[in-house]
Amino acid sequence: MPVAAQKTEAPKKFTPYEAAAGEEYMNEKQLEHFRQILLDWKQELMEEVDRTVRHLQEDANNYADPADRATQEEGFSLELRTRDRERKLLKKINETIEKIDEDDYGFCEACGVEIGIRRLEARPTATLCVDCKTLAELKEKQLGG
């Protein structure tokens, strides 16, 4: 069985939110829209974890040939690394749902401006506006490279 596709991107199966003219940013309808996106994403990730567990249990053969065994172990290793990234993502999704519940969602943690509906639909766990994220990435690039 091939390594499962990564689910680190937000689910694509949602209807984009269309704000009414003059609608207040991050009102109850918008918060519910994002809560549902996050819950759907979380469900997809949990289903992927279940598939991985079943795959590891069902396909755990003890191959006599060292090359076959190494190939299988490498595949398992890749799957487990992917699941580890997804575990961290699940934590971030849960933290984001808590922010929605606390009515503290959709605003940049660095400067306080609106992150924006379209950006949040693309990355529902975003905590920075585009400008602050760009600055953070530039700083990281300068310090790291």
Q: What is the pLDDT of residues 115-129, one digit of tens each?
A: 999 999 999 999 999
Bigger pLDDT: 67 vs 111: 111
Long-range contacts, stretch 119-124, CB < 8 angstroms, 24+ apart = 120/34, 121/10, 121/14, 121/16, 121/17, 121/37, 122/10, 123/10, 124/10, 124/34, 124/37, 124/38, 124/41, 124/93, 124/96
pTM to 2 decimal places: 0.79
- List the chain domain ranges: 25-104, 106-145
Q: CA 123, CA 137: separation in Å to the nearest integer?
A: 16
Is residue 56's pLDDT more than 60? yes
Q: Does residue 1 carry a pLDDT above 70?
A: no
Query: What are 115's two structure tokens?
Result: 């992150």
pLDDT given for residue 5 in this prediction:
44
Q: For residue 86, is pLDDT > 50?
A: yes
Cβ(37)–Cβ(64) below 8 Å: no
C-alpha distances out from residue 48 to 14, 29, 41, 85, Å: 19, 29, 11, 12
Which residue(s) pair with 17 in the sheet? none
Rounded mean pLDDT, 83-95: 93
Region label for 22, one of left (φ > 0), alpha (ψ between -120 and 50) or beta (otherwise):
left
pLDDT exceeds 60 at position 29 = yes
Comparing 143 with 73, the larger pLDDT belongs to: 143
Half-sphere exposure of 54 (CA within 13 A, CB side): 8
In this predicted structure, the answer to whether residue 82 has a pLDDT above a threshold of 50 is yes
Could you confirm whether domain 25-104 is CATH 1.20.120.910? Answer: yes
Q: Looking at residue 66, what is its pLDDT?
A: 80
Query: Cα dihedral angle (145, 88, 123, 23), rounded to 10 degrees?
Result: -130
pLDDT band for position 39 (cuts 50, 70, 90): very high
